Structure 1
Amino acid sequence: MDWTRDGKDWPNREFSRFVRHRPHYWHLQVAGDGPVVLLIHGTGGATHSWRDVLPILAERYRVVALDLPGQGFTKLGARQRCGLDAMSRDISALLDGEGLLPDAIVGHSAGAAIALRMVRDLKRPPKALVGLNAALESFKGPAGFVFPMMARMMALNPFSASEISRWLGTAAGVEYMIAGIGSEISPEGLALYRRLVADRHHTDATLAMVAQWSLDGLQHDLPSIDVPTLLIVGEDDRAVPVSGSVRAVARLPQAELARFPGLGHLAHEEAPEAVTARIEAFLEDRL
């Protein structure tokens, strides 16, 4: 993604800054004052996913949103550091270096897994965690073998990212993708996702993330993550089963579940006011 071309009308661009912190060149958005709340998007997303959430939270908090390595406008500096543990360590070091250690972390999908992993890697743990349609379990059955294998093969093929971007980077391809995860979002949101997936570098980094992803260590550590945690689920999510969040709540020492009927995987983009209000209610007594 090129900031001069693709970032000229990027949501909340007035809050954007770029930071070089090894090994990546990071795109951050920082807004508001108060306790620091970090927002982490899911696989294949970017800061645009928080376009309506960030301004609401920034009325009470210092909100930090970032693009994951190679995705959105963050430039990938080390391809081998796209897995869960590496990203958690690199994001934790970045925030420490910028004086933005989070008091709370809100993560969507795979971003929720990163949020939970960061409890181990931050200099001080956050006071609260929120996961939105948290992707905390690996694919089951044959998919558990086939999908990671496909991702690794595609990540090794230099033409794969271009081919996927050409297909998904169409209006029809993006609509098919978003409908497939159970969500209905605005035309603006669809256009932003189309801009992302049409970019070969963004798609390539997304494939690298999937290829390097492993939740085994995090699953083992869930019972030791003693931080107040809220897991929010859209009951129409077709990407991440609600049952995974139910099981995680049972294993986390201080966790609760909030259900939103009629919303899919991108619940915070479909109903940002309602979802953000639930997040704020959870954070109010903890920050």
Structure 2
Amino acid sequence: MFERFYPSMSWAEHRPHWPHTQHSRFVKAGGIHWHLQMMGQGPCMLLLHGTGSGNFSWRGLLPTLAQHFTVLAPDLPGHAFTSRGPDGALSLPGMAEALRALTLQLQLTPQVIVGHSAGAAIAAHMALHMDSLARSTLIGLNPAWLPLPGVASWLFGPAAKLAALNPLSAWATAKMAAQPAAVAEWLERTGSTLDAQGLDLYTRVLSDSGHVHGVLSMMAAWQLKPLAARLHEIRNPVFMLIGAQDQTVPPALADQAVLRLPHAQQHRQAGLGHLAHEQDPVGTSQYILRCSKN
């Protein structure tokens, strides 16, 4: 019902400013109109961005990773240029199922899944529920695999639900994001400082009411407790790369995740925050490639 009031971002308007547009394509799968970028040759590597972002989050990593893999980087449902999809598509199981439909449509089976923040939760859910991914390598960048502690754990869901139901919330939030320096301040609260291009791209998505409404709806539908309860069942190779200054997903949660994933390995990126892979794309790419060889 909200698709009519909050459509996806306009590709014609933003294309001149988007990275790697020559690798963009639009695909219909699972009742969703997807924007994705594909690059490279070889085994498939699926890149899943976090809440509020888009596949532009991988702009600095794509050329390097594409030298070794067929890299598939979609905008998640409700984000940037990808439509919201049917009811339930913005929940964790819904997004995982939508991505299954997308990979089937493209006739690709990811051998490596790299997820940032909420994208890592989607990757873990896929590994638990899809037999074809039973041996795929999972790489979580500041992974949101466990519920956030403290006030955020009970405030996050209810506040997002109220905002998603209020037709004016996304519009008002987008208007705030369009104000000078607003997005820069929001990003700094994650523990990360981005370059001019990164700041411009986040300003574009966060000042678009369609994107913002998709983000709020995803947050309202998100439930991590069922995933957290089953993390110990994951038998895939698991690696975690953690920004030591992450102010969004506390690094201490990675230590707790390791207790539930006894085969997991983790590495800290000193001085970097929640968007560490955008701050240090070279170092992050090298880590991903090393893990992919194990």
Q: Tell me the TM-score normalized by structure 2.
A: 0.94
Report the residue type matching 1:21 in the other structure: A
Which residue pairs with 1:242 in the alignment?
251
Q: 2:24 aligns with which of 16, 20, 25?
A: 16
In structure 2, the residue corresponding to 1:44 is in which secondary structure?
A: coil
Q: In structure 2, what is the Cα distance between the partners aligned to 1:142 and 1:282?
A: 35
Contact 1:92 1:121 in 2 (8 A): no
User: Which residue of structure 1 lines up, in the alignment, with residue 173 of structure 2?
Assistant: 164
1:106-185 equivalences in 2 (<5 Å)? 106-125=114-133, 126-185=135-194
Paired residue for 1:194? 203
Contact 1:170 1:194 in 2 (8 A): no
Query: Post-superposition shift, 1:275?
Result: 1.1
Alpha-carbon distance, 1:123 to partner: 4.5
Q: Name the aligned partner's letter for residue 149 of structure 2.
A: K
CA contact 2:47–2:114 (8 Å) conserved in 1: yes
Secondary structure of the equivalent of 1:171?
A: coil
Per the alignment, in what secondary structure is the counterpart of residue 160 of structure 1?
Answer: helix
Please report how far the alpha carbon of residue 76 of structure 1 lies from its aligned counterpart in structure 2 after TM superposition: 1.6
User: Match for 2:242 among 220, 229, 233?
Assistant: 233
Alignment of 1:35 with 2:43, yes or no, is yes
Q: Percent of aligned pairs with the same residue?
A: 39
Q: What are the superposed Cα offsets for residues 120-170 of structure 1, whole Å, 9 maximum, x if unpaired?
A: 333501420100001112232333222211100000000000000110223
Provide the residue aligned with 1:63 in structure 2: 71
The residue type paired with residue 267 of structure 1 is A
Where does residue 105 of structure 1 map in the other structure?
Answer: 113
SS at 1:159's partner residue?
helix
- Tell me, what secondary structure is at the counterpart of 2:35? strand
Query: What is the count of residue pairs matched by the alignment?
Result: 285
Distance in 1 (CA, whole Å) between partners of 2:217 and 2:92 is 11
Specify every segment of 5 or more residues in structure 2 that has no aligned partner in the other structure, as ranges.
Answer: 1-8
How many Å apart are 1:93 and its aligned residue? 1.7
| Aligned-partner residue type, residue 90 of structure 1 | A
- Report if the CA contact (8 A) 2:128-2:233 is conserved: no
AA of the residue aligned to 1:177? W
TM-score scaled by structure 1? Answer: 0.96
Tell which deviates more after alignment, 132-141 or 152-161. 132-141
AA at the equivalent of 2:212: T
* Moved beyond 3 Å, runs of 4+: none
Tell me how far 1:171 sits from its aligned partner: 3.3
CA deviations on 1:72-96 (whole Å, 9 max, x unpaired) are 1101222532011111111112101
Supply the distance in 2 between the matched residues of 1:224 and 1:106 (Cα, whole angstroms).
19
